[in-house]
Amino acid sequence: DDYETAAAAYEQVLEGVPADFSALYGLAQAYEGLGRTADALSYARRALAAAPADKTAEVQALVDRLEAP
């Protein structure tokens, strides 16, 4: 599955660079695709904390979507 492959790749990046924004955001999106909402939200929040200013709104939208009931 593409989401599983992507998640594994992002996890590997994060082992070396735990605060890598692109990997955190990508992993959040991969977990969302896999239906792992709690994990996706955890990584989305971490991505939001690490996000450059031009990506904050995009990541906040993901957090909001994941938090929605």
Give residue 69's pLDDT: 85
Q: What is the pTM of this model?
A: 0.95
Give residue 20's pLDDT: 98
Task: Look at the block and give the residue holding tokens 């990997």.
Answer: 23
Interatomic CA distance for residues 42 and 45, integer angstroms: 5
**Predicted confidence (pLDDT) per residue in 8-65, tens digit:** 999 999 999 999 999 999 999 999 999 999 999 999 999 999 999 999 999 999 999 9
Dihedral sign, CA of 18, 52, 60, 31? negative
